[in-house]
Amino acid sequence: MPFQEDISSDQRGNSGIPILYEDNHLLGIVKPVNMLSQEDASGDPDLLTVLKADLKERYQKPGNVYLGLVHRLDRPVGGAMIFAKTSKAASRLSEAVRSRSFSKIYLAVAHGVPTRSTGRLEDLLLKDERTNTVKVVPRGTPGGKQAILDYRVLGEPVNGLSLIQVELLTGRSHQIRVQLSHLGCPLYGDQKYGAQLNKPGQQIALWSAHVGFPHPVTKEHVSLLSLPPQEHPWSSWPRTLYEQALRSF
């Protein structure tokens, strides 16, 4: 599926959320930054609730609308995201996630330059539920969970910043943010794991660029692609570089 940088109004639904893909089984969208994936104790608007209301209105559905959350993005992160419109699709997509036939690739802007231009990071992560923070811990630490990602530096560093492509092989909380920070390259704008380099109010530069999976019914491969916004720090690199990266997914 080709990426669409400009999305017309009829591809946004009534909610204003950009729609990348939709059929009877799936809904693929571009998550806005700083929006919750699902409801939490804050009571702030969340994507799942907004999309359910949009489906109910667009299709004039009576009663409750089913929409299954297959994967999550951290609140400050935007980009491609897939939802299931039936319980069968949700179950099959969840199985794709477990079997690792569900691919998730992100773009990130990080402070510093990794020593190696490509590599795999394997760490043990431990989450502190009280502070909602995650840290890398030694092997054998009780409660620690394995975290694996592959990364590739795209283009040349600009003003001490690197553009990095990341493929998640596991789905741990705050995984990319923690592992890149542990590598010595905290994300631009990340107040939680790079406060010493970032200023309050900066938007974290992490974007869900690609979500790929076998269609739960047809089994054909579905690829959702999304480009980050053309604003700082993303605008430090030419748009063609992003387009070339997405074509390789």
Q: Has 6 been annotated as catalytic?
A: no
In this predicted structure, what is the pLDDT of residue 25?
Answer: 97
In this predicted structure, what is the pLDDT of residue 63?
Answer: 86
Please report where in the chains the tokens 């089913």 appear, as a residue: 66
**Cβ-contact 83, 29 below 8 angstroms:** yes
Query: Which of 54, 74, 123, 190 does the annotation list as catalytic?
Result: 74
In this predicted structure, what is the pLDDT of residue 14?
Answer: 67
DSSP state of 32: P
β-strand pairing of 133-137 with 26-31: unpaired
Question: Which segments of the chain have a pLDDT < 50?
Answer: 1-10
Instruction: Judge if pTM exceeds 0.75.
Output: yes
